[in-house]
């Protein structure tokens, strides 16, 4: 099984169509009017007629009138119902056109764009002859053209194609009706939500309120969800996602976000989402009808975006701290510190080398002032280089250590009178016992007597 069959299930789909002769698909086509019942209702027709009369000036609604308020409430509910009908129509066209080009639903996920592309393509097999510019980006058009040349889909019958295109027309009509309702909202936004209109603009405010079904529903919605209102699902088709803007919806249409650099647009939309809830709460409570709070929030967002774009301050060299000359540094005292100072203290000879007597030339290692000078070393007394020994507290310690070392060396040393001949243990013991003669003692006595007799 190929990869395309795994993802789209073309084998099973085609087998069912071939076995049943397309009867199941034709049965689905009979339910075309099920998703477009809204356009035939009296509520839909009445609201659209009222909006047309207001736009043409035939119906005048005063601000604060109950008729205007009721029309606004009805328009909010109608926008929600239109969105549901558009989704149902998209599902119908997607299921019916899957036999011709099943990959199109994954490449064009947005319902309105899908309907427009479907009407353009129809039963055409060579998509190079179809002009999709202005509907989709160039990268997506290229991917669709390549996919259509390798697809295993089959052509639709004339009847089925007409019903599919009719469904697309109904989806586009519903979208046109929704835009008309939003335009009416936009004209009344200064009275319905003045602070929200001042913050994001009348057009964006109308889309926000119309998409959720009213101002109370917008207030109760989290800011993270408000940020995604109006966001389209994007298909990269294998291209880079560096320039793709995700998690942005209606707030991208505001003037402030449009002039914001691309890396900062996501953060700007998040700020607008937070402030939109606060402005909507003020409008719901009828706190400020002039819109000053919304303008205040917009100025705060603009200043924050400007701060984001400022360059960081240059790093200056850190100066050393000013020394404190008033107080002396605390040093550790005690016997251990004193002994350490005494051990590493300057010697008397070094002190004499560092001194110089006035009017008396110092002696040097090379003579005549060349080499290392000796200072006052050797200038006292008879002129010899001598240093007086000063006994310090450290001297007894060194002396004792030297004495122990000399005694140990003295014990280990051998005198010149020791016998170098090897002796047995019996001979050694006999020589050490007083009064007991040995062979060597007798030999020495005889030799002495013989010498003196001669």
Q: pLDDT tens for residues 215-245?
A: 888 889 898 888 888 876 655 555 555 555 6
Sign of the CA dihedral running 55, 56, 61, 66: negative
Give Rg (Cα) of the chain. 53
Of 120-129, 163-172, 297-306, the one with minimum mean pLDDT is 120-129
How far apart CA 197 and CA 275 sit, in angstroms, is 12
The CB density around residue 80, as the number of other CB atoms within 10 Å, is: 14
Check: CB of residue 218 under 8 Å from CB of residue 167: no
Q: What is the CATH number of domain 1-188?
A: 1.10.287.4070
Are 1-188 and 193-236+247-311 in the same CATH fold? no
**Of the candidates 74, 91, 82, 76, which has an alpha carbon nearest to the alpha carbon of residue 32?**
91
Q: pLDDT tens for residues 51-74?
A: 888 877 777 766 656 677 788 778
Q: pLDDT tens for residues 5-25?
A: 333 333 443 444 344 433 344
Q: pLDDT tens for residues 258-305?
A: 888 888 888 899 999 999 999 999 988 888 878 899 899 999 999 999
- Looking at residue 374, what is its pLDDT? 84
Domain borders along the chain are 1-188, 193-236+247-311
Homologous superfamily (CATH) of 193-236+247-311 is Nop domain (1.10.246.90)
Distances (CA, A) of 50 to 208, 335, 411: 22, 103, 128
Q: How many helices (H) and strands (E) does the chain have?
A: 21, 0
- Looking at residue 300, what is its pLDDT? 93
How far apart CA 217 and CA 36 sit, in angstroms, is 26
Please report how the helices 202-212 and 158-192 are oriented relative to each other, as an axis angle in degrees rounded to 10: 120
Please report, to the nearest 10 degrees, the dihedral formed by the alpha carbons of residues 160, 161, 167, 173 taken in order. Answer: -150
- Looking at residue 9, what is its pLDDT? 39
Average pLDDT on 416-440 reads: 50
How far apart CA 250 and CA 207 sit, in angstroms, is 7
The DSSP code for 133 is B
82 pLDDT exceeds 80?
Answer: yes
């Amino acid at each position: 099984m190929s990869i395309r069959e795994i993802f789209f299930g073309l084998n099973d789909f085609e087998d069912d169509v071939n076995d049943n002769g397309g009867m199941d698909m034709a049965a689905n086509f009979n339910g075309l009017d099920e998703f477009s019942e809204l356009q035939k209702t009296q509520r839909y027709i009445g609201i659209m007629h009222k909006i047309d009369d207001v736009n043409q000036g035939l119906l005048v609604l005063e601000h604060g009138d109950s008729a205007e308020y009721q029309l606004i409430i009805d328009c909010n509910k109608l926008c929600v119902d239109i969105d549901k009908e558009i989704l149902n129509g998209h599902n119908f066209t997607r299921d019916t056109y899957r036999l011709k080009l099943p990959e199109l639903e994954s490449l064009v996920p947005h319902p309105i764009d899908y309907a427009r592309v479907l009407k353009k393509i129809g039963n055409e097999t060579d998509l190079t002859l179809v002009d999709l510019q202005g509907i989709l980006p160039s990268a997506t058009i290229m991917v669709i053209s390549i996919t259509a040349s390798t697809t295993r889909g089959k052509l639709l019958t004339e009847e089925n194609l007409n019903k599919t295109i009719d469904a697309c027309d109904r989806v586009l009509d519903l979208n046109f009706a929704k835009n008309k309702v939003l335009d009416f909202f936009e004209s009344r936004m200064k009275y319905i939500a003045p602070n929200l209109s001042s913050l994001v603009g009348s057009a964006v405010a109308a889309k926000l309120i119309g998409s959720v079904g009213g101002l109370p529903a917008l207030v109760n919605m989290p800011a993270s969800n408000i940020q995604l209102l109006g966001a389209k699902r994007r298909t990269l088709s294998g291209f880079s996602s560096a320039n793709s803007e995700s998690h942005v919806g209606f707030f991208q249409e505001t003037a402030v976000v449009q002039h914001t650099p691309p890396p900062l647009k996501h953060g700007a939309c998040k700020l607008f989402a937070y402030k939109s809830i606060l402005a909507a709460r003020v409008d719901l409570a009828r706190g400020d009808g002039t819109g000053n709070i919304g303008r205040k929030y917009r100025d705060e967002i603009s200043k924050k975006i400007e701060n984001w774009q400022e360059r960081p301050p240059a790093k200056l060299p850190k100066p050393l701290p000013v020394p404190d000359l008033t107080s002396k540094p605390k040093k550790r005292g005690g016997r251990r510190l004193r002994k350490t100072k005494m051990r590493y203290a300057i010697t008397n000879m070094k002190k004499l080398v560092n001194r110089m007597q006035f009017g008396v030339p110092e002696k040097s290692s090379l003579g005549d002032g060349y080499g290392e000078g000796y200072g006052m070393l050797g200038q006292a007394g008879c002129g010899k280089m001598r240093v007086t020994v000063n006994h310090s507290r450290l001297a007894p310690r060194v002396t004792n250590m030297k004495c122990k070392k000399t005694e140990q060396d003295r014990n280990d040393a051998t005198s010149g009178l020791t016998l170098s001949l090897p002796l047995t243990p019996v001979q050694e013991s006999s020589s050490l016992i007083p009064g007991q003669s040995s062979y060597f003692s007798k030999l020495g006595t005889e030799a002495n007597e013989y010498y003196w007799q001669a």
